[in-house]
């Protein structure tokens, strides 16, 4: 692999893959492509100084676990990315190549905090017909009602064409 030894706008290093939120945030940053270079690389198994660390898990199971981040519904719009094993300065690492999004911004865990209507005309019609009392309040109300009843929080799965909310009982 012929990448730099210092982090840049299109190259980011992570020492390990344990902090999935940090991985998700790095994927979003690379997909948003603010410098306009076409995306970038996230290298797991390299410290911030650009030195590879030893004993990084590059097994198929580890690669599959990182690949699943794309489809779990916590990063919207889903990024285009390839997860693979690579060699960096003679050591095995995990490389996540992230393509620039065609529809930025790409955001992490925003399903309950961002009004991002797929069809604004339909949303406005639903409000004018009285089916919606205020935009941006439904998920918070669902969470509060579940807490009052002692139920676990809702689960969200969001993809390009649909979204699903799963409610679970404590019984």
pLDDT of the residue at 115: 54
What is the rounded average pLDDT of the residues 83-94? Answer: 94
Q: Which CATH superfamily groups domain 11-107?
A: Schlafen, AAA domain (3.30.950.30)
CATH 3.30.950.30 spans which residues of the chain?
11-107
CA pair distance 16, 38, nearest whole angstrom: 25
What percent of the chain has a predicted confidence (pLDDT) above 90?
42
pLDDT of the residue at 143: 82
What percent of the chain has a predicted confidence (pLDDT) above 70?
86
CA pair distance 100, 81, nearest whole angstrom: 9
Is residue 40 classed exposed, middle or buried when 0-12, 13-18 and 19+ CB atoms within 10 A define those classes?
A: buried
- Report pLDDT digits (tens) over 131-165: 766 656 677 788 888 889 888 888 777 665 667 77
pTM, two decimals, is 0.65
Q: Please name the residue that has the structure tokens 């019984």.
A: 171
Could you tell me the pLDDT band of residue 87, with boundaries at 50, 70 and 90?
very high
* Mean pLDDT of all residues belonging to the chain: 84
- Report pLDDT digits (tens) over 102-142: 888 888 876 555 555 556 677 777 777 877 666 566 777 88
CA pair distance 171, 156, nearest whole angstrom: 21
């Amino acid at each position: 692999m012929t990448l730099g030894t210092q982090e840049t706008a299109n190259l980011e290093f992570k020492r390990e893959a344990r902090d999935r939120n940090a991985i998700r945030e790095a994927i979003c940053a690379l997909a948003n492509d603010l410098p306009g270079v076409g995306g970038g690389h996230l290298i797991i198994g390299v410290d911030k100084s650009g030195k590879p660390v030893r004993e990084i898990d590059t097994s198929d199971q580890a690669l599959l676990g990182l690949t699943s981040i794309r489809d779990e519904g916590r990063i919207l719009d889903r990024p285009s990315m390839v997860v693979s094993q690579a060699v960096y300065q003679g050591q095995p690492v995990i490389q996540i190549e992230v393509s620039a999004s065609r529809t930025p911004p790409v955001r992490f865990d925003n399903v309950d905090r961002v009004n991002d209507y797929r069809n604004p005309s339909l949303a406005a019609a639903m409000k004018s017909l009285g089916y919606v009392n205020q935009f941006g309040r439904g998920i918070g109300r669902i969470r509060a009602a579940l807490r009052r009843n002692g139920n676990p929080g809702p689960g969200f799965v969001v993809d390009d064409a649909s979204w699903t909310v799963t409610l679970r009982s404590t019984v």
